Amino acid sequence: MSAPTRASDLELISSRRNPLVGRLRDLHEARGRQQQQRLLLEGTHLLEEALRLGLSLELVLATPEWLGRHGPLVAALDSHTRLQPASAEVLVAVATTRSPDGVVAIAERPALVPGPAPSFVLALDRLQDPGNLGTLLRTALAAGVEQVWLADGADPHAPKVLRASSGAALALPVERLDGEGLRQRLRQAGVAGLQRLATRAGDGQPYWDLDWTLPTVLMLGNEGAGLAAELAALADHCVTIPHSTAVESLNVAVAAAPLLLERWRQQQLGGTATPAT
């Protein structure tokens, strides 16, 4: 690996009318990402994560100030990566955030590489909010989830999802499906011996009473409508998070944290559920 051409040798882009600006802005939308098969990474942290994961970077666009502060990171770029200095005004034009930290990048979409049969899966049904999805993916990675099955809803590679996940969306194998595709995956999981868990507000089994160290699929539903009835019907167990009646239900990203991390907790304790009292 060798570093790209020095930034000082490259011409600064200062006009918002530059064709590159339009191409980067197209990556704000799902259609543009699909057409180009590329992602927009915003900020130093996502760039660092992409390099750590070995993703192919086509372009890094940065202000001279950012380049001056991040020499080692620039030196870590592959020789095939185009390094392009740009003014702060151009960075604002191509970013989705109001105050970009000085760098954006174009990366190839991560390929879904077939791996061994998973023993811990998160199945998401029509999640709409990018912030919720990003937070969920970050928690899933922390909890040791091996695959994510995502039926419709928000794009896991949207810039807001990538930021909210702190790069977890780049590291996790996420498979996009439609409703029928998710149903098929859940049926196959049952045949393969994975317990399928659905969340239910109020009348499910307390989540800590189950053995989460078993091969498991956790199903979570849409923020408003919840889990589709045809998916919930495939569940082997319905679980709930007991809480005060002051609220009817919990935000899906908040609810996911204790559920996903219960597996980790039980593994540390030797694979036993909390006895019912």
Q: Both 104 and 180 in a single domain?
A: no
275 occurs within a structural domain: no
* 182: containing domain: 120-268
- Under 8 Å CB-to-CB from 85, ≥6 apart: which residues? 7, 10, 11, 12, 13, 61, 62, 63, 64, 67
Predicted pLDDT at 273: 66
- Helix residue ranges per DSSP H, 192-274: 229-232, 252-268
The CATH number assigned to the domain holding 13 equals: 3.30.1330.30
Collapsed DSSP state (helix, strand, coil) of residue 15: coil
Asked whether 156 and 176 are in contact (CB, 8 A), the reply is yes
Cα three-residue angle 9-12-17, rounded to 5 degrees: 150
Using only C-alpha atoms, what is the Rg of the chain? 21
276 occurs within a structural domain: no
Strands 237-240 and 120-125: unpaired
Q: Both 75 and 163 in a single domain?
A: no
Instruction: Please indicate whether residue 272 or residue 243 has the higher confidence score (pLDDT).
Output: 243
| % residues pLDDT > 90 (the chain) | 77
Dist. CA 188–CA 197, nearest whole Å: 14
Strands 103-108 and 216-220: unpaired
Asked whether 147 and 173 are in contact (CB, 8 A), the reply is yes
- The predicted-structure confidence for 105-147, as pLDDT tens digits, reads as follows 999 988 777 678 899 999 999 999 999 999 999 999 999 999 9
Dist. CA 220–CA 119, nearest whole Å: 17
Q: Both 71 and 172 in a single domain?
A: no
Predicted pLDDT at 276: 46
- The predicted-structure confidence for 253-269, as pLDDT tens digits, reads as follows 898 999 999 999 999 88
Q: Both 130 and 259 in a single domain?
A: yes
2 occurs within a structural domain: no
Q: Both 138 and 260 in a single domain?
A: yes
Strands 103-108 and 120-125: unpaired
